[in-house]
Amino acid sequence: MTVQTLPHESSAAAARRVRHNRHYGALAPALIAAAIALMPIAVVIAIALSGDGSDWPHLIQNVIPQSTAATLLLLVLVAAGTVSMGVTSAWMVVAYDFPFRRVLAWMLVLPLAVPPYLAAYAFAEFLHFSGPVQTGFRALTGFATPRDYWFPEIRSTYGAAFVLSMVLYPYVYLTSRVVFIMQGRNIGDAARTLGAAPLRVLRTILLPVARPAIVAGVALVLMETLNDIGASKYLGVPTLTYSVYTTWLNRGSLEGASQIALLMLVLVLAILMMERWARRRQRFNVGRGSQMNAQPPRVKLTGPRAVLATLATTAPVAFGFGVPLYIFGDYASRRLYQLAEPELWDALLNSVIVASAAALITVIVALLLLHAARIDRSRPVAAVTRLAMVGYALPGTVLGLGLLFALAFIDNSIDAWMRELFGISTGLLFTGSAAAVILVCSIRFLALAEGAVRGGIEKLPPHIDEAARSLGRSPTRSAVSVLLPLLRPAVFTAAVLVFVDTVKELSATILLRPFGFNTLATSVFEDASRGVPEDGAMAALTIIATSVVPVILLSGALMRDRDARL
């Protein structure tokens, strides 16, 4: 095959043009994935604009101001809480040596295994008047009734911020810890040789360097906070996410719910712009191997300072992971009979089916997208691939709302077509089925799978598959025979991450699940909505147990390197 160059076109430019033309079909999977991911957003926008405005007086007067104020206050408080705990914990385990530091360094990630709604149920019981904290307080002080003393109210915006901070701070801890280790080796050591104390090094040097990573972790925290519906509902915080749910189901106003969802999209865009702005000047300096393998110097703490450091790093784990485990473990120990009830096993089976299907779909789509980006590095493929990842940045309520009516439109169109041609009614094929739940989870968590697989690809030599191509194999065959076997660990990690997040997912599942179809998350949510979260203790423990092992594996993978020297 000969290549005909255009006038004044260099051979390199001609080669790039032919290569892009040859692999232009790689754009197809990216286009399909992006179209499916953007479909719920387009539907929400269309529904919001189709309203006659009759709901606006009520929304403006009674819903949007209160919900927006509560949401913004919650975001600010959660951001402050997660930054203070995440950055402090990361700095403590990197800069100081104290008892149990090695164990606490990975245990600080454990709260990620606890979904926010489970943490809300646990803390509400833990801090209740009849709970262990107030009971012990009354025993020590001699008080008898709530009128005798003041106690913080967990069912408030501040209480919800505390609960969410306790389980979401690991996002900030992980991102800041990596930067403190990698960047702190050179610049931190240089500052210490000049006599700077560790706290001064942190305040004046490392925090400015780590700012982009910290902001990236906070962005994840804020998006998880916006996505939450279970904790805010149970703790009585009228967030925008909960307002979408109540406006649609309680008031029967789909247009009003969509209009509130658009406001949430504006908040999401603001968060993403903030994160990009913080990273606008981010640069990395990779040291030589001898420098990278050197152990970062730590200040050895002794006496009371060592005890305080141990307590300070133990507290986040004790509250974020220990309290939910204690509460649900106590309730479950008195409800062992639930192990024989079919409802629990049905919910577990439904969760496993949905999570397994979502993991399989997202891994396959992620491999297709990354293969397309690998063989065709053109801007259209890169841009469309990024659009396909938009689902993770969107609250599950917004995705669920848009997808429900998109699938309803598809179902009605198929039914009308079948009636016209064959006189057969197909009914609802997708709406109100487990397929809808699987699809929304796949859209939402595709970015997780793509990130994990991309991390595996970036560790491979860039031209490892070119040997197979030189032997006459096509890019697809070389990817299957050469790249895919090497990517098995990354593929497994991606599948596990999506599986765990799907098991924990609530906000979209509660909107899209079919009648009588319960997952572990919706089962716990229903019990909590009836005021008996203790009845969902066994399901809650199952969710935590399902999430703990992958979280530990993830923590080990992130920290098991020669740089950390744990």
Q: What is the pLDDT of residues 279-331, one digit of tens each?
A: 665 554 444 444 444 455 677 888 889 999 999 999 999 999 999 999 999 99
Alpha helices by DSSP H, listed for 250-341, are 254-278, 289-292, 303-317, 323-333
Mean pLDDT of the 561-566 span: 44
What is the rounded distance in angstroms from the CA atom of residue 235 to the CA atom of residue 58?
24
Greater confidence, 484 or 71? Answer: 71
408 pLDDT tier (thresholds 50, 70, 90): confident
In Å, what is the CA distance from 371 to each residue of 15, 58, 144, 155? 20, 50, 67, 48
201 pLDDT tier (thresholds 50, 70, 90): low
Model pLDDT, residue 199? 65
pLDDT tops 90 at residue 430: no
82 pLDDT tier (thresholds 50, 70, 90): very high
- Our separate counts of H helices and E strands in the chain read 28, 2
Greater confidence, 337 or 564? Answer: 337
What is the rounded distance in angstroms from the CA atom of residue 1 to the CA atom of residue 325?
66
**Lowest mean pLDDT, pick from 242-246, 255-259, 278-282, 413-417:** 278-282
Model pLDDT, residue 381? 74
Model pLDDT, residue 461? 62
Alpha helices by DSSP H, listed for 96-141, are 101-107, 116-126, 132-141
Mean pLDDT of the 123-135 span: 89
Model pLDDT, residue 394? 77
Query: φ and ψ at 326, to 5 degrees?
Result: -65, -50
CB 44 within 8 A of CB 254: no
What is the rounded distance in angstroms from the CA atom of residue 305 to the CA atom of residue 408?
62
Model pLDDT, residue 81? 95
Model pLDDT, residue 465? 59
Closest to 320 measured CA to CA, from 165, 102, 126: 165
Most confident of 195-199, 201-205, 256-260, 313-317: 313-317
Model pLDDT, residue 320? 93
In the block, tokens 């590095």 appear at 377
Distance from the Cα of residue 57 to its chain's centroid? 35
Model pLDDT, residue 119? 93
Mean pLDDT of the 485-508 span: 82
**Identity (one letter) of the amino acid at 53?**
G
Question: ∠ at Cα 233 (232, 238), nearest 5°?
Answer: 70
Model pLDDT, residue 354? 92
Closest to 554 measured CA to CA, from 507, 490, 510, 468: 490
Greater confidence, 247 or 373? Answer: 247
CB 214 within 8 A of CB 87: yes
Model pLDDT, residue 284? 47
**Lowest mean pLDDT, pick from 125-139, 170-184, 489-503:** 170-184
Mean pLDDT of the 238-254 span: 81
pLDDT tops 70 at residue 151: yes
pLDDT tops 60 at residue 246: yes
Alpha helices by DSSP H, listed for 51-63, are 56-58
Helix, strand, or coil (residue 299): strand
Domain boundaries, the chain: 40-280+300-333, 335-529
What is the rounded distance in angstroms from the CA atom of residue 217 to the CA atom of residue 232?
21
Burial of 298 (0-12, 13-18, 19+ CB in 10 A): middle
Greater confidence, 37 or 483? Answer: 37
CB 520 within 8 A of CB 503: yes
**Lowest mean pLDDT, pick from 77-91, 96-110, 379-393:** 379-393
> What CATH architecture applies to the domain 335-529?
Orthogonal Bundle (1.10)
CATH 3.40.50.2300 fits 40-280+300-333, yes or no: no
Greater confidence, 157 or 196? Answer: 157
Residue 277, number of CB atoms within 10 A of its CB: 11
pLDDT tops 70 at residue 24: no
Model pLDDT, residue 494? 83
- Mean pLDDT estimate for the chain: 79
Q: Which two tokens stand for residue 225?
A: 């906070």
Model pLDDT, residue 293? 45
pLDDT tops 60 at residue 190: no
Mean pLDDT of the 142-164 span: 89
Model pLDDT, residue 555? 65
The yes-or-no answer to whether 40-280+300-333 and 335-529 have a common fold is yes
pLDDT tops 80 at residue 71: yes
Model pLDDT, residue 48? 82
Mean pLDDT of the 513-533 span: 86
In the block, tokens 């309520």 appear at 397
**Lowest mean pLDDT, pick from 105-114, 154-163, 200-209, 423-432:** 200-209
What DSSP string describes 202-218? IIIIIHHHHHHHHHHHH
Model pLDDT, residue 559? 55
Greater confidence, 451 or 435? Answer: 435
The set of residues, in sequence order, having a beta carbon less than 8 Å from that of 35 and lying 6+ positions away, is: none
**DSSP classification of residue 129:** T
